[in-house]
């Protein structure tokens, strides 16, 4: 295959879910609906947290940041896909593709880190309730979010800069609906050993540390709750963690599904569907999970939408 330098690459082709023209209107409508629901739902969460003083707590501060991250990660991938379907094209410029890789890594990693920080917040609230306000002060909360953003940005820039050194073959078709790092590296004709090493080492590290923190936090939470003498106390403690546990299960469950799909299957369609479940579905469902399972959030959202006073 002909080798071309990265400076000569002007664009890549995003093959998406299917090239069947008859299915394009259905796919466009489906993804547009999912994108609008994601934006609206997460904006309502942010608006609810910022407008109600009762929600000015560390837990809801982290939740609003999670909602903002969900908006960003969806906006990084879906609008370009929708524009391509509407314009009957599959192209994405080289610069846009590299930028998309970078921002997907930033916001995907940031979501993982925020879920770990939220687990730590629940750990402090349940295991050290008397010191909760002292430990989880506003300064620490802001520093934790900034640290998450700094770490994930450094990780994303590292991967993106390593992609810039690659040379690509004339076949520039990406069997995906966005520029995914692994698929992009597979198109390279130059040596990719360093890139693959970074993916399996650095990415595993960045995914493993937050997941380990979540597991540790909930191990301590379960141990503390089981020592409570009152059943009402146990129920109340577990109920404060229910929404977060559901979101964690959805996020890491779909991430594990993407990994298993790419490991055991060579089908590009199956990999695209698995990635869609990871990149689109959790971000759309998170607002519903937190609003339907949380009485405080449900009351504030009811007040925002209907004008009825929150209970």
Structure-block tokens of residue 241: 């963690």
The distance in angstroms from the start CA to the end CA of the chain is: 66
Residue 7: per-residue pLDDT: 45
Q: Is the pLDDT of residue 187 over 90?
A: no
Instruction: Please give the mean pLDDT across all residues of the chain.
Output: 84
- CA 224, CA 232: separation in Å to the nearest integer? 14
**Of the given ranges (55-59, 69-73, 208-212, 265-269), which has the lowest mean pLDDT?**
265-269
User: Pick the residue with more confidence: 259 or 299?
Assistant: 299
- CA 134, CA 119: separation in Å to the nearest integer? 17
* Sequence-separated (6 or more) residues with CB below 8 Å from residue 284: 34, 37, 38, 41, 74
Question: At 170, is the secondary structure helix, strand, or coil?
Answer: coil
Q: Is the pLDDT of residue 275 over 90?
A: no
User: What number of other Cβ atoms are within 10 A of residue 103's Cβ?
Assistant: 19
**Per-residue pLDDT tens for 3-29?**
454 446 778 888 877 777 888 888 899
* Sequence-separated (6 or more) residues with CB below 8 Å from residue 96: 80, 179
Q: Is the pLDDT of residue 273 over 50?
A: yes
- CA 215, CA 207: separation in Å to the nearest integer? 12
35-62 b/e (C-beta count within 10 Å ≥ 16 → b): bebbbebbebbbebbeebeebebbbbbb
**Per-residue pLDDT tens for 110-144?**
999 999 999 999 999 988 988 999 999 999 999 99
Looking at the chain, which runs of residues are DSSP E strands? 3-4, 11-14, 91-93, 168-169, 173-174
pTM over 0.85: yes
- CA 141, CA 287: separation in Å to the nearest integer? 21
Mean pLDDT of 74-90: 91
Q: Is the pLDDT of residue 48 over 80?
A: yes
Q: Is the pLDDT of residue 1 over 50?
A: no
- CA 308, CA 305: separation in Å to the nearest integer? 8
Residue 90: per-residue pLDDT: 87
Mean pLDDT of 52-74: 91
* Sequence-separated (6 or more) residues with CB below 8 Å from residue 9: 94, 168, 172
The band of 311, judged by pLDDT with boundaries at 50, 70 and 90, is low
Mean pLDDT of 207-222: 90
Query: Considering the chain, what percentage of its residues have pLDDT values greater than 90?
Result: 35
Q: Is the pLDDT of residue 212 over 70?
A: yes
Surface-to-core class of residue 187, CB atoms within 10 Å of its CB (0-12 exposed, 13-18 middle, 19+ buried)? middle
Do the beta carbons of residue 174 and residue 15 sit within 8 Å? Answer: yes
Q: Which of 137-146, 187-196, 206-215, 229-238 is the most confident on average?
A: 137-146
């Amino acid at each position: 295959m002909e080798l071309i330098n990265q400076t000569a690459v002007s664009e890549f082709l995003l093959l998406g879910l299917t090239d069947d023209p008859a299915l394009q209107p259905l796919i466009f409508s489906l993804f547009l609906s999912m994108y609008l629901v994601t934006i609206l739902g997460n904006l309502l969460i942010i608006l609810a947290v910022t407008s109600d003083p009762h929600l000015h707590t560390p837990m809801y501060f982290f939740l609003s940041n999670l909602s903002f991250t969900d908006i960003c990660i969806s906006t990084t991938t879906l609008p370009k896909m929708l524009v391509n379907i509407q314009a009957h094209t599959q192209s994405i410029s080289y610069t846009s593709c590299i930028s998309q890789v970078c921002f997907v890594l930033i916001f995907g990693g940031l979501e993982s880190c925020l879920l770990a920080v939220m687990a730590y917040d629940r750990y402090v609230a349940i295991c050290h309730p008397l010191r909760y306000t002292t430990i989880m002060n506003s300064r620490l909360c802001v520093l934790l979010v900034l640290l998450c953003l700094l770490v994930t940005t450094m990780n994303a820039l590292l991967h993106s800069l390593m992609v810039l050194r690659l040379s690509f073959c004339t076949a520039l078709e990406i069997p995906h609906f966005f520029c995914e790092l692994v698929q992009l590296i597979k198109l390279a004709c130059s040596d990719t050993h360093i890139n693959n090493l970074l993916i399996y080492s650095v990415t595993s590290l960045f995914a493993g540390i937050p997941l380990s923190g979540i597991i540790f936090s909930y191990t301590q939470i379960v141990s503390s709750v089981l020592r409570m003498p009152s059943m009402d106390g146990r129920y109340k403690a577990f109920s404060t963690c229910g929404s977060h546990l559901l979101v964690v299960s959805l996020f890491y469950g779909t991430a594990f599904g993407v990994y298993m799909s790419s490991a055991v299957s060579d089908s590009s369609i199956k990999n695209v569907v698995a990635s869609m479940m990871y990149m689109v579905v959790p971000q759309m469902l998170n607002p519903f999970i937190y609003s339907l399972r949380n009485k405080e959030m449900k009351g504030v959202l009811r007040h925002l939408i209907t004008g009825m006073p929150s209970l």
